[in-house]
Amino acid sequence: MKIRLAVAASILAATIQQAEASSDASWNALFAKVNGTCIGLSGMNTPEASAPIVFDDAAGKVAVLLRGSVGRGKTKVRNVNLMCLYDKKTGRASIAEYRWLGN
């Protein structure tokens, strides 16, 4: 009985350590993928990105707010604010411009 308990405790401890160790790395990898996808789709020259906004698992989305300029050369350069919604399941992102109310 004591041997079973010791084995179960060591397996549980190893599982918990692995989950904690991979958690930060997994989140960082996801956030890097989200930023890369969103910035790539934005078409901005030098965008600034917000910290990721993670929705619950039911929504399965991560949002990033981007601000920067679009346009080059003869096209008119303008400053824009974009919101990017990244779907964790499919790896696809959607971008839309937003404006603060009253501005």
From first to last of its 103 residues, what are the pLDDT tens digits of the chain? 545 444 344 444 444 444 444 588 999 999 999 999 999 999 887 899 999 999 998 999 999 999 998 877 777 778 899 999 999 999 999 999 998 887 5
pTM for this entry: 0.71
Residue 37 resides in a domain: yes
Q: Which pLDDT does position 6 carry in this prediction?
A: 41
Dihedral of CA atoms 21, 84, 41, 80 in degrees, nearest 10, equals -130
pLDDT at 22: 55
What's the rounded Cα separation, in Å, for the pair 31 and 20?
17
Residue 16 lies in a domain: no
Is 60 part of a structural domain of the chain?
Answer: yes
What pairing do the DSSP bridges indicate for beta strands 53-54 and 78-87? unpaired
Residue 64 located in a structural domain: yes
Angle at 94 between CA 89 and CA 97, to 5 degrees: 150
Q: Does residue 18 fall inside a structural domain? A: no
Structural domains of the chain, count:
1
Is 40 a domain residue?
A: yes
Residue 54 neighbours by CB distance under 10 Å: 16
- Half-sphere exposure at residue 101, Cβ-oriented, CA atoms within 13 angstroms: 0
Answer yes or no: is 15 within a domain.
Answer: no
List the end-to-end C-alpha distance of the chain, in Å, as a whole number: 70
pLDDT at position 19 is 45
For residue 37, what are the domain limits?
Answer: 29-97
